[in-house]
Amino acid sequence: MSMLYYWLAFSLGMVFYAAYLSQSFLLSQGIIYMKEKDQSPPLLWLFTRLIGFILRAIPGLLMRPIPLILWVVGLGLTVQYSFAL
């Protein structure tokens, strides 16, 4: 059960980190939308852009040095834990 908590925390951390990195992207997209439409973008529009950015950013984030180490160590611990049962 402890490995499940590890993977949930890691996944949630990666999602929040990707959302943090999306701030400048969402700001630039919102400015472009406001220039074209002369109104603020709807919340659903912003939410879909945020989800799209997160889905595109997470594979790249996993290949950075620190998350890659966490990913490999977590995978190794999971394999060791499953064979220890």
pTM: 0.66
Give residue 65's pLDDT.
Answer: 76
Q: Which of the pair, 32 or 61, is modelled with greater confidence?
A: 32
21-33 pLDDT, tens per residue?
888 999 999 999 9
| Ramachandran assignment for 38, one of left (phi > 0), alpha (psi -120 to 50 degrees), beta (any other) | left
Taking the C-alpha atoms of residue 23 and residue 3, their distance in angstroms, rounded to an integer, is 31
Using alpha carbons, list the distances in angstroms from residue 53 to 8, 29, 40, 63.
Answer: 20, 11, 20, 16
